[in-house]
Structure formats: structure tokens, C-alpha cells
Amino acid sequence: MKRYELIVFDWDGTLMDSAAMIVDSVQAAARDLGLEPPPEERARHIIGLGLADALRHALPDLPEDHYPELVERYRHHYLSRDHELVLFAGADALIRQLAGHGYRLGVATGKSRRGLDRALEHSGLGDYFHATRCADECHSKPHPQMIEELMDEFTVSAARTLMIGDTTHDLLMARNAGVDAVAVSYGAHPRDALEAAAPLYCAASVGDLALWLTENA
């Protein structure tokens, strides 16, 4: 018997190897506005949040009326290169395997709907996810709305839902929704920060994650 019915994945840094490009795009957007770009550690920390919230955290001293231009410049840099992004090795096979075993699969992401739809089409995984939620449709992480809506859509209880992500924002969202969480340490946030949020497990690779799911999910 499966322990979980619904498995919810974050996207950037969990399935797709995009953290470095997100950092580059945040820093390039800041330079476009004549600003000192945030250091890599700060830029990595905001990955997983909704874009507007993320940029406010990355550049907190920017006057409020300048954020729309910063968002536009970020999108320019990121969308001009997002076709170059690839899934982490083994991610494609993992998703196909989980779908074949009858799990309900969802995505809860800080991406916009436009951005996620592009990524799902480019990756070829769109048909394997039964439902998705994006930050421009819901409250940004760590608010639990994305997970709660996915559970409601499939009438799956919190006890039968698992969240998988590469940031503390994902783990805190799961905690706020009352669901179990597994971290992956190959994405945006460092392993020590992830472990401090007390996930069930912290996977070092997609293969490690796949093995844990086989034995525990």
C-alpha cells in the first residue's frame, strides 16, 4: 500500500537545473538598473518565492516604484535563455516512473503560470502532472495555499501528501500545510539550512531521492 497518494514537486532546483540561471538573471537585472547586484548567496536564498517577493528580498533598499522595472529586466534575461535549461539527470525517469505507479503528481512553484507552462512544454513532462499551482495564482511560499488547493482538488488528506523541494521555503510551506516533506540538497539552498527545517529526508541526488521514494513512499 502506498504511504502517499499525492506527491508535490517544486520545479526550479528540484526537477530543473535552473538555480544558477536565476541567480545570473537577478544579478543582471540589478546591473541594468545601475544597482550593485546581490551576492550569490542572497540571490539563491530567494529562489522559490514569487518573483515580486523574491526581488524585494534580494534588493530590499530599492524604492518601491522601481520594482516593476526590475521584474521586467529579470524576465528579459531569464526568458531569453530558459530554452537552454535541462532537467537534472534522472528527473525525467523519476516522474515517468511515479506516474506509472499511479501517484497523483503536482507542482507548487514560485514560477509564474507562463513560466511553468513554458518549462513543462520544453521538458516534455507536462502530461505527467495532474495539477499545478504557481505564485501568480496563489500566495507565495511559505504560505500553504498551493499545497492546500492541490489536496482539495484531488480530495487527498495531508497525511497522504508529500512535498519535495530544494529550499527552506518549500519545507516551511509543507509544514504550514501539515504535510510531510523531503528536501533535495543539489538545488538552491545549502544542506545545513534544509536539515534545520527538519525534513523527513535530505536527498543528495535525484537517484538518491528515487531510492528513498521507492522504499518509503
Is position 65 annotated as part of the catalytic site?
Answer: no
Nearest Cα to 202, choosing from 7, 2, 14?
14
Euclidean distance between CA atoms 5 and 157, whole angstroms: 9
Query: Which residue in the list 12, 82, 166, 170 is annotated as catalytic?
Result: 12
* DSSP character at residue 139: P
Is position 208 annotated as part of the catalytic site?
Answer: no
Q: Decide: 98 and 9 in contact? Cβ < 8 Å.
A: no
Query: Which residue in the list 10, 82, 170, 180 is annotated as catalytic?
Result: 10
Euclidean distance between CA atoms 140 and 85, whole angstroms: 23
Place of cell 543528495: 204
Euclidean distance between CA atoms 112 and 117, whole angstroms: 8
Please identify every residue annotated as catalytic.
10, 12
